[in-house]
Amino acid sequence: MYLLVAALRLLPFLNQGKDYMKQGLCVALVLAAFGLLASAADKAAPTQVERGREVFLSSSKVTACATCHAMAGLGTAVAPDLTTMASFAPPRGFVATMRMSMTEKVLLVKTADGAFPAVLKQEQSDQSEFFDLGQTPPVLRKLTAKQIVSSERDQKWQHPPASVEYTSQELADLVGFLKWAATGSQKEIKPSEVD
């Protein structure tokens, strides 16, 4: 509606204007139309994206993904950012990674008080910051070099979703939500794509 009004208002200018003006206005109109479409799409998020968002935020079966991952402005960025993986991995590959039984980045940090599984946030010569995955939600801990007895790859830590049964529909919705958050794509992911 707005567009129509705007277009009608511009008509007299279009008639008088020079050619390059007309072209410029047309480009502007097309861009405005895309802008409106995009914002309309934002408001009416498709159902799969909404369902997947619920799976991402839900802690009914397992610690919610959002406890450790941040996507679409939701959640806490403790663990690796999922944008790249969600953009490029085929749905089945994404799910396989999510269910990994071996992790690479998780460390077992030992101090005089005990050991905890951790993700390194940042390391300086005299002090390091870790997210303590032994607590839910993970807690940021700062340790001086002297406090760290050792820190090596944790071979026992389990990625929470590895041991949880999701339905194919839940997995498809989750992947659909993450792909939407990463790329804006609203392509429906079918349950058969994650089986």
- Residues contacting residue 125 through CB under 8 Å, at least 6 positions apart: 145
Q: How many C-beta atoms lie closer than 10 Å to residue 128's C-beta?
A: 20
Encoding tokens for residue 93? 């590959």
Distance CA 86, CA 132 (A): 25
- Interface with ligand HEC, residue 79, by CB under 6 A: yes
* Strand-strand pairing, 114-123 and 127-132: antiparallel
Q: Is 119 in the site for ligand HEC (CB under 6 A)?
A: yes
Single out the residue of 49, 53, 65, 179 in contact with ligand HEC (rule: CB under 6 A): 65
Does residue 52 interact with ligand HEC by CB under 6 A?
no
Which residues from 94-113 bind ligand HEC, rule CB under 6 A?
94, 97-98, 103-106
Number of residues near ligand HEC (by CB under 6 A): 22
**Which residue, 23 or 167, has its beta carbon nearer to ligand HEC?**
167
Tell which one of 48, 49, 52, 68 touches ligand HEC (CB under 6 A): 68
- Report d(CA 25, CA 168) in Å as an integer: 48
Q: In sequence order, what are the beta bridge partners of 122?
A: 129
- Residues in contact with ligand HEC by CB under 6 A are 63, 65, 67-69, 79-80, 82, 85, 94, 97-98, 103-106, 119, 133, 159-161, 174
